[in-house]
């Protein structure tokens, strides 16, 4: 298939006027200006000057896990019966038949990171998935992508109501630290048993097994943190255990931007198209991502769906621009930057040869309130 006569915003450093994209087997094979040479027997879509972008990416959602309008039956987000649950896998709870997947597609969002919520200090395994499909196993970009951990108000409030630890920030950090130490010693014992025939393999521990990829930097750790002090606790824990970490929300990140820059911290910023529903959100502002970007901090914009419905990701990016973010940086914050931050940039996030043909076509500026995609492609197949 060929898309031609469009303006191609590659998000890889260039924009191609009157360009074409050649797609074969769901993969981008050629991008260029004009028309491809020596190509026959291809389906051709004439874009007639429309603008093409990579499929949008939301790097923090609860899509398919916290279902829309179903209350308890559709809520598989928080296993708040115990505070440490790294062994829980998002892919075992995602319902791809939920109607929000279709709404995400209609908004141009083709890839999301989804997973458990922030009730638990360690809540489980996040997954990066496509937003089209009927079987989650065939929608996976990477799973597990990261271990979700949470600091601040949410674990405190959840377990205070149960008269169970943690009810303080101290206990939340201590529980995370304790479980990481257990997993670290468990890994050391496993390695020792493999190297020394006189050593005994430790009894299988599913929680420790789940954390080994994080300790070995095969997957990331995503820390839910709003307040500045909680962000610094996340950095402290990440340094202590040498974790590949990302800050999720970072609501007060704009207040400590110099420090975050010095620590090379990456931030998934948002949601800020919402109210200040709890005390730790008192400094919530849509200017936050723009401030982080201007400080050179790698930043993506998120909805935290269903806090903000996924189809409004572009509105969140547009609001960030209104409040001072650079326009091109805001577009990158919903395309290539979330892909880079989450380590999936070889597959998605930009229009380049060899990447998945996830594309969104607009007749107008995608960050405008009135804008709506005219075409959406996932893996080279038109789905909208």
Each domain of the chain, given as residue ranges in start order, spans 56-350
pTM above threshold 0.95: yes
> Which one-letter DSSP state was computed for residue 200?
P
Specify the fold of 56-350: TIM Barrel (3.20.20)
Confidence band of 377 (pLDDT split at 50, 70, 90): very high
Q: Is 115 left (phi over 0), alpha (psi -120 to 50) or beta?
A: left
Q: Report the distance separating Cα 91 and Cα 203, nearest Å.
A: 26
Task: Look at residue 126 and tell me whether its pLDDT is greater than 90.
Answer: yes
Q: What is the pLDDT of residue 73?
A: 81
E strand spans, 212-305 = 220-225, 245-249, 267-269, 299-301
Mean pLDDT of 63-73: 85
Tokens read off for 334: 């919903």
- Mean pLDDT, the chain, rounded, equals 97
| pLDDT at 40 exceeding the cut of 90 | no
Looking at residue 41, what is its pLDDT? 65
Strand-pair category, 122-130 with 109-114: antiparallel
């Amino acid at each position: 298939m060929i898309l031609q006569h469009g303006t191609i915003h590659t998000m890889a450093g260039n924009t191609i006027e009157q360009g074409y994209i050649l797609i074969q087997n769901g993969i981008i094979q050629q991008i260029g200006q004009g028309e491809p040479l020596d190509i026959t027997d291809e389906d051709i879509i004439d874009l007639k000057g429309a603008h093409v972008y990579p499929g949008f990416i939301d790097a923090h959602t609860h899509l398919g896990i916290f279902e829309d309008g179903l209350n308890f039956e559709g809520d598989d987000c928080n296993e708040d019966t115990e505070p440490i649950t790294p062994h829980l896998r998002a892919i075992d709870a995602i319902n791809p038949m939920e109607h929000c997947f279709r709404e995400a597609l209609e908004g141009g969002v083709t890839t999301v990171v989804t997973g458990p919520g922030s009730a638990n200090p360690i809540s489980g395994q996040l997954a990066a998935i496509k937003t089209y499909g009927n079987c989650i196993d065939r929608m996976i970009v990477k799973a597990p992508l990261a271990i979700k951990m949470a600091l601040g108000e949410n674990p405190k409030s959840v377990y205070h109501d149960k008269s169970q630890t943690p009810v303080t920030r101290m206990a939340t950090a201590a529980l995370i630290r304790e479980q990481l130490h257990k997993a670290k010693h468990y890994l050391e014992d496993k390695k020792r048993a493999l190297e020394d025939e006189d050593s005994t393999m430790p009894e299988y521990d599913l929680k420790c097994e789940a954390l080994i990829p994080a300790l070995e930097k095969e997957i990331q750790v995503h820390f839910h943190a709003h307040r500045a002090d909680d962000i610094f606790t996340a950095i402290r824990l990440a340094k202590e255990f040498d974790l590949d970490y990302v800050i999720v929300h970072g609501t007060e990140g704009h207040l400590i931007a110099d420090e975050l820059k010095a620590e090379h911290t990456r931030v998934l910023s948002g949601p800020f198209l919402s109210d200040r529903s709890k005390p730790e959100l008192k400094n919530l502002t849509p200017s936050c991502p723009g401030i982080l970007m201007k400080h050179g901090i790698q930043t993506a914009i998120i909805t935290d769906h269903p806090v903000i419905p996924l189809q409004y990701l572009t509105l969140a990016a547009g609001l960030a621009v209104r409040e001072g973010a650079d326009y091109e940086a805001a577009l990158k914050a919903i395309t290539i930057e979330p892909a880079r931050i989450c380590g999936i940039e070889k597959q998605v996030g930009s229009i380049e040869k060899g990447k998945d043909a996830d594309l969104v076509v607009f007749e107008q500026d995608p960050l405008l309130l009135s804008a709506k995609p005219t075409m959406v492609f996932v893996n080279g197949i038109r789905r909208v």
